[in-house]
Amino acid sequence: MTVTIKGLDALARRFQARGLARAVTHALRQEADAIAAEAARAAPGRLGETVTVIDESRGDRLSVAVGTAHRAGRFLEHGTVRHPAAPWLWPAFRARLPRIKQGLRKSLRASFDRV
């Protein structure tokens, strides 16, 4: 599952001149780690042990992925023809979304104060 926050790349480019890209990257990584921890707790069985955070940033495009390489994760999250969905990752993201926005705001404000 990939979640994209629209406008984040443009914002990061605008702030790069002020050295704020590092602050945005740090805030994103902290929030991704928190989402991974919550998803790992919510994942059934031993699936939680396989939840990882991967930095997929390329150039000036910031991207952090949270998930598992275990195929059962996708089947549980979205369901199959025979088994209903039992989401474990999406609810963790949705619960964390207000804190993600707040964390980014706080990080950017602190960076502006330093610049």
pLDDT at 78: 93
Please, what are the averages of pLDDT over each run of 10 residues along the chain (115 residues)?
Answer: 70 65 83 95 94 88 90 93 94 94 84 64
pLDDT at 63: 86
Tokens for 8, please give them.
């984040």
Please compute, for residue 15, the number of CA atoms within 13 A of its CA located in the half-sphere on the CB side: 24
Q: How far apart are the first and last CA of the chain?
A: 36
pLDDT at 79: 94
Are 46 and 88 in contact by the 8 Å Cβ rule? The answer is no
Cα gap 48→63, rounded to integer Å: 22
pLDDT at 21: 72
Q: Tokens 């780690």 sit at which residue?
A: 33
Cα gap 109→115, rounded to integer Å: 10
Distance of CA 58 to the CA centre of its chain: 16
Q: Where are the domains of the chain?
A: 8-114
